[in-house]
Structure 1
């Protein structure tokens, strides 16, 4: 049983412990459940220069009982500031990526611990 779980984790997909900030593209994903509503956020970071990124946000809100969902998308810019990535993503508001935690001003997005990916 333990071996099967390890194989599943090893083949689940490209996840990173920390993003390579010099990579041309990478992603941060998180999920947060509030009551019977699931909030899922994917932020795709595309490097534009040293310490600067264009960021595409896709925040999905799903009612877990009815399975109805809505998606909220926005684009913004992020900059490295004192070890954090901070920025504004249009109507979703300000965001901060601090270590492995993403915080977004909008209640339509999840704010929690992230899983980093390669952006593909």
Structure 2
């Protein structure tokens, strides 16, 4: 079966822009660059047949009619996937920080400073 649905990365970017009304704020919320959000939305628009999901202006972005339809049809389902995933992800201990460093940096620089 050929998959015709867009990627979750693209849908998350689209929904974040919908929710926050700004590519910049969506990028901050998703912990990525504004360019990454813009490219993800652009890929989604191309995937859906070059339809415009947002009306862009100097004042910001507004959902187009097609964007409103897509949001209405997908938002609940994407959030349901997030909720389902949260049931299986082990909770992290509060205040725990996990670092990954190369061994030399860890032993020569980081450990003496801890």
TM-score in terms of structure 1 length: 0.22
TM-score in terms of structure 2 length: 0.23
Q: Which has the larger radius of gyration?
A: 2
The structure whose residues are more often strand, as a share, is: 1
The structure whose residues are more often helix, as a share, is: 2
Higher RCO (Cα < 8 Å, 6 or more apart)? 1
